[in-house]
Amino acid sequence: MRGGAFKPHTSPYDFQGLGLAGLQILRQVADKYDLAVISEILNPNDIEMSLDYVDVIQIGTHNMQNFDLLRAAGAVNKPVLLKRGLSATIEEFINAAEYIMAKRNGNIILCERGIRTYERVTRKTLDISAVPILKKETHYLLLSM
């Protein structure tokens, strides 16, 4: 079950999530229905606190190059779902995963979520050409959505 206890929005006036209370709710519901919890963590200082509540740490597109967060996620024994940044090259995406791997956490799931294009009608466009390259160049699990 994926839920946003912390919500990184581009506007400071948008809902920012419930934080720790949100993680607690996610864990309670997941336990009731025997589900795993995936939630995005925004701050390296929140990684340790989140360990009791999440089964998978998500690092979203806006934090793909937050190197302190990548290192902190790499230092714990939890799978990490890493989403590609909207403007990130494939090389930058792979290098972000390497920050996690460098801290001895090889349990990484790459998420090809789509990139920003000039099109204003769609939020992002799936870079389908990245999928075979990521499969060839890495040994990580790959998810595209």
Residues in the chain with pLDDT values less than 50: none
Domain annotation covers residue 15: no
pLDDT of residue 9: 83
Inter-residue contact 142 to 112 (CB < 8 Å): yes
Inter-residue contact 48 to 77 (CB < 8 Å): no
Count the domains in the chain.
1
Domain annotation covers residue 41: yes
Task: Give first-to-last CA distance, the chain, whole Å.
Answer: 15
Give the DSSP per-residue string, 39-84. Answer: EE---GGGHHHHTTT-SEEEE-GGGTT-HHHHHHHHTSSS-EEEEP
Domain annotation covers residue 10: no
Q: Which CATH number does the domain housing residue 116 bear? A: 3.20.20.70
Residue numbers of the domain that contains 74: 20-144
pLDDT of residue 95: 99
Whether the full predicted model's pTM is greater than 0.85, yes or no, is yes
Q: CA 60: distance to chain centroid?
A: 4
Domain annotation covers residue 2: no
Inter-residue contact 61 to 42 (CB < 8 Å): no
